[in-house]
């Protein structure tokens, strides 16, 4: 089976993990801070916080921005459910903004229209989660302009996008947002097994994230409500979680991030090959905006809805692990039940969903395998 995405593990990665197993610390040692520094430096952000998944990262990102009951979080319907679930963990509500028909990221026009209406109705969001689908940044400059005008916070869900660029700068620099979140699940660009990270430039947010990651407990006397009793003393100052990343996971991340640029380069090369080989067919190929350099987590093609299933099934029958990203979140039974969303609420997303297929794209995809995939697509699409 050629999967749609796959991790790349080298002998150096394996020995980095083994080194930690021989060391004094399996958790709360020196490797997590090393990984965090590498992420912050790579992204050009002041601070990075490593956690055990992007889902945990989204949760504490929302909490650090004080999302709570009665608040609204908006995101794109075309994302993994975690981008929306984080609001529900905080007992807040979720609403969606339809996508741009070319980039499949949140549409800035739809966002502005919805904000104008929400201002009249008194239903403005507290947080917008901007999802950088496939590794291409949303139009962050415009999103930032709207966030200043309407007074909401912005979290970038860059689970697909580490290594990507926007206006020539690394995604994750938080130039236009409060917090950026990354995922290191094995199918993503680089992996720690399971894992995630947040970047921010705000020292207050950073302090809260550190507390929320580890039980709300601190050993820093500056953060305590009273003087410490002695050197043994710690204090719980808020309700946090155990969302820490282990040293074992971080060691894999430190080793992987060294290859990030070459990995993104290879993904872009393979994407260009698909672009070229599929260009004559009646397929909508990925569109990358001039402001963007995509990390190319996913290569998504759109075919007419009436042949999507046939193409999907034929590729699967030939051991090609295609997938669909994503089923619009507002059509999930859970979301329909608690928020009364209906088919037709976000028509651009729903049309997209009927036509999309993610075809394999990963660092070690061979050109032979890629040719095989292209050949099968040519059998169905003309």
Ligand X SMILES: *Cc1c(COP(=O)(O)O)cnc(C)c1O
In this chain, which of 7, 55, 147, 294 binds ligand X, going by CB under 6 A? Answer: 55
Place of tokens 């699409």: 381
Q: Please tell me whether residue 288 adopts helix, strand or coil conformation.
A: coil
Q: Could you tell me which stretch among 47-55, 263-271, 273-281, 368-376 binds ligand X (CB under 6 A)?
A: 47-55
- Token pair belonging to 92: 């807040």
Query: What are the distances in angstroms from CA 38 to CA 43, 149, 189, 369, 375?
Result: 8, 34, 16, 33, 41
Q: Which is nearer to ligand X, 206 or 326 (CB)?
A: 326
Q: Which is nearer to ligand X, 53 or 268 (CB)?
A: 53
Spatial CB neighbours of 223, under 8 Å, sequence gap ≥ 6: 207, 211, 235, 237
CA–CA separation, 375 and 369 (whole Å): 10
CB 264, CB 189: distance < 8 Å? yes
In this chain, which of 7, 79, 200, 256 binds ligand X, going by CB under 6 A? Answer: 79
Q: Could you tell me which stretch among 50-58, 63-71, 225-233, 273-281 binds ligand X (CB under 6 A)?
A: 50-58
Q: Could you tell me which stretch among 79-87, 170-178, 265-273, 370-378 binds ligand X (CB under 6 A)?
A: 79-87
Q: Which is nearer to ligand X, 7 or 183 (CB)?
A: 183
What's the CA angle centered on 62, arms 61 and 65, to 5 degrees? Answer: 90
CA–CA separation, 193 and 187 (whole Å): 9
Binding flags for ligand X, 142-171, as an x/- string (CB under 6 A): ---------------x-xx-----------
CA–CA separation, 270 and 297 (whole Å): 11
Q: Could you tell me which stretch among 29-37, 48-56, 109-117, 165-173 binds ligand X (CB under 6 A)?
A: 48-56
Neighbours of 261 (CB within 10 A): 11
Q: Which is nearer to ligand X, 199 or 218 (CB)?
A: 199
Least distance in Å: CB of 282 to ligand X? 28
196 forms part of the interface with ligand X (CB under 6 A): yes
139 forms part of the interface with ligand X (CB under 6 A): no
- List residues near ligand X by CB under 6 A: 53-55, 79-80, 82-83, 131, 157, 159-160, 183, 185, 196
């Amino acid at each position: 089976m050629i999967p749609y995405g796959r991790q790349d593990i080298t002998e150096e990665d394996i020995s980095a993990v083994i080194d930690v197993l021989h060391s004094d610390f399996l958790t709360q040692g020196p490797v997590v801070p090393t990984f965090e520094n590498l992420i912050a430096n790579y992204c050009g952000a002041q601070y990075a916080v490593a956690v055990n998944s992007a889902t945990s990262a989204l949760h504490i990102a929302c909490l650090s921005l004080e999302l709570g009951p009665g608040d609204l979080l908006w995101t794109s319907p075309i994302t993994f459910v975690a981008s929306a679930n984080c609001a529900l963990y905080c007992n807040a509500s979720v609403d969606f903004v339809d996508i741009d028909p070319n980039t499949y990221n949140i549409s800035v026009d739809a966002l502005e229209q919805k904000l104008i209406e929400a201002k009249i109705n008194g239903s403005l969001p507290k947080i917008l989660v901007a999802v950088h689908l496939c590794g291409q940044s949303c139009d962050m400059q415009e999103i930032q302009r709207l966030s200043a005008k309407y007074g909401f916070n912005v979290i970038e869900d860059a689970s697909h996008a580490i290594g990507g660029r926007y206006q020539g700068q690394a995604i994750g620099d938080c130039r236009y947002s409060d917090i950026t979140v990354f995922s290191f699940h094995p199918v993503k660009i680089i992996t720690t097994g399971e894992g995630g990270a947040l970047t921010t430039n705000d020292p207050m947010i950073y302090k809260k994230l550190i507390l929320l990651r580890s039980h709300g407990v601190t050993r820093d006397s500056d953060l305590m409500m009273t003087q410490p009793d002695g050197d043994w003393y710690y204090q719980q100052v808020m309700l946090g979680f155990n969302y820490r990343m282990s040293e074992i996971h971080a060691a894999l991340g430190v080793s992987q991030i060294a290859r990030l640029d070459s990995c993104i380069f290879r993904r872009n090369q393979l994407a260009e090959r698909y672009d070229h080989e599929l260009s004559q067919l009646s397929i909508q190929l990925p569109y990358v905006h001039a402001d963007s350099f995509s990390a190319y987590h996913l290569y998504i093609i759109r075919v007419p809805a009436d042949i999507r299933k046939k193409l999907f099934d034929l590729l699967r029958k030939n051991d090609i692990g295609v997938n669909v990203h994503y089923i619009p979140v507002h059509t999930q039974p859970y979301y329909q039940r608690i928020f009364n969303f209906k088919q037709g609420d976000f028509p651009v997303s729903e049309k997209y969903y009927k036509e999309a297929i993610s075809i394999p794209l990963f660092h070690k995809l061979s050109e032979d395998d890629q040719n095989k995939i292209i050949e099968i697509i040519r059998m169905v699409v003309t």
